[in-house]
Structures are given as C-alpha cells and as structure tokens.
C-alpha cells in the first residue's frame, strides 16, 4: 500500500486514476482548487484536499505532500492565458518538485505530453507555445532534481474505451484514451524500473501495441 497525492485531482485522467489506485490498495489524496468538486473526487475513493497550488509556496506545498509516498502531477491550466499556463504548468509544477524533496517524498510522476522535447517545433507565435514551453521546463526541472522521477508523455487524449495496451514512441499524434493514460500512471507508480525514464506512448494499433506492463518493460 502506498499513499499517493495527485495534483489536479478533478482532472479527467485523475478521476479515472484514483479508482485504479484504490483497487490496488493505495490511499489517494486528490488535490483540487474548487471545493464543489470534492464529492466527485471522493466518489472515486480518493480523499479530496482543497488547495490553491497556483499560489502556494514551496513550504506550503511540502506541508500537504509530507506523509505521502509518491506524487503525481496531473494539474494544468487547461489553456487560457499564457500567464496562467506558465503559472501552473511550469511554476507550480516546479515548486511541487522542490516541495517533494523538502518533504522527503522522492517518488514523482509527471504527466507531460508526447511532444515535450527541447526541439518541440511549436513556433513562439502559436497559441500552443506557452504550454509546450512550460511543460518542457517542468520536465527538465524534474530531470535535474534529486527525485525518483518518471515523465509520462501521452499523445493526443481521447475518450475511447480503455484497451490496456499501448505503443511506446508512437508515430504521428499518438492518440491514446484517457483511461489508458490512467492505467499507465497506476502501473508506473509501482514499477521501479521506470524511475529516471521518459516514456512516450499512444494506443497504436493492435499489431503495434502491447500490454501496459510489457510496454513499461518491468
């Protein structure tokens, strides 16, 4: 049994993740900004924790992380202004990593995106650029930290039914169901062989995909 804190606890992936973790015997804390979302988070077996991570400093974040065994960052600004995208997807994410180190919680799983590379190719004038830039900066901060980090890079998210199969380093957009992303996170948290790795994945097709555990190589 592990105690997992999930930032972005009311996100579509996190709501699918919590029941998977609970079914594995884990205890889940879902961090949310809006108290009205607490019943939906708790319906999946998680404990809802209301916190404004966008405006919390490292020590405040460390206080809510302390006592857990692992952190999952699945929070994001969800588009909108570039300023808020940087504030959440980069700055708050980086503070959460520093906070995890301060709290002595070394396991950290970052939910990034398939195209998060130094040469992601998104032009600065593109509305998607702040997200691409912020996620890359957050990923690099995790790589440079002393945490036992794993960066997960799913492709384009869909609402398709789960397949329990993925393809590593897929071509194109790497479309993948949110349910399968949640399953990959759940498997990663209990797979020490994923520490220190960046894992990019999509669903692929029946011929190119493999069961999640096999894809992770553990």
Q: Which residues of 100-132 are buried (b: 16+ CB within 10 A; e: fewer)?
A: bbebebbbbbbbbbbbbeeebebeeeeeeebbb
Using alpha carbons, list the distances in angstroms from residue 198 to 35, 112, 142. 33, 9, 11
- Cβ(8)–Cβ(76) below 8 Å: yes
How confident is the model over 67-81, as a mean pLDDT? 93
- CATH of residue 107's domain is 3.40.50.720
Q: Is the pLDDT confidence value at 79 over 80?
A: no
Residue 195: its pLDDT value, please? 98
Contacts 24+ apart (CB under 8 A), 102-106: 102/58, 102/59, 102/62, 103/62, 103/63, 103/65, 103/66, 103/67, 103/68, 104/66, 105/65, 105/66, 105/68, 105/69, 105/70, 105/71, 106/146, 106/147, 106/148
Summarize the confidence of residues 201-208 as an average pLDDT.
94
Closest Cα to residue 163, out of 199, 218, 204?
204
pTM across the whole model: 0.96
pLDDT of residue 136: 97
How far apart are the C-alpha atoms of 11 and 168, rounded to whole Å? 24
pLDDT 10s digits, 166-200: 999 998 899 999 999 999 999 999 999 999 999 99
Q: What percent of the chain has pLDDT over 90?
A: 94
Q: What is the pLDDT of residue 80?
A: 78
- On the 0-12 / 13-18 / 19+ scale of CB atoms within 10 A, 206 is exposed
Average pLDDT across the chain, whole number: 96
Containing structural domain, residue 7? 3-216
Q: How many domains does the chain have?
A: 1
The pLDDT tens digits for 107-138 are: 999 999 999 999 998 999 899 999 999 999 99
Kindly tell me if the per-residue pLDDT of 165 is higher than 90.
Answer: yes
Percent helix, strand and coil across the chain, each rounded to 5? 40, 20, 40
């Amino acid at each position: 049994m592990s105690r997992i804190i999930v930032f972005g606890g009311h996100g579509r992936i996190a709501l699918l993740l919590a029941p998977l973790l609970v079914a594995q015997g884990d205890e889940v804390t879902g961090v949310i900004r809006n108290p009205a979302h607490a019943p939906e988070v708790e319906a999946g077996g998680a404990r809802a924790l209301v916190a404004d991570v966008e405006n919390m400093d490292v020590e405040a974040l460390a206080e809510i992380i302390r006592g857990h065994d692992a952190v999952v960052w699945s929070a994001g600004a969800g588009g909108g202004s570039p300023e808020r995208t940087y504030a959440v997807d980069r700055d708050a994410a980086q503070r959460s990593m520093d906070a995890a180190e301060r709290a002595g919680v070394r396991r950290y799983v970052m939910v990034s995106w398939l195209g998060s590379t130094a040469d992601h190719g998104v032009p600065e004038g593109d509305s998607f650029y702040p997200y691409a830039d912020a996620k890359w900066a957050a990923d690099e901060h995790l790589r440079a930290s002393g945490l036992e980090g794993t960066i997960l890079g799913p492709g384009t998210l869909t609402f398709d039914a789960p397949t329990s199969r993925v393809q590593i380093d897929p071509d194109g957009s790497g479309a993948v169901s949110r349910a399968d992303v949640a399953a990959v996170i759940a498997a990663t948290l209990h797979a020490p062989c994923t520490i220190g790795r960046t894992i990019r994945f999509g669903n692929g097709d029946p011929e190119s995909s493999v069961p999640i555990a096999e894809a992770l190589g553990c």
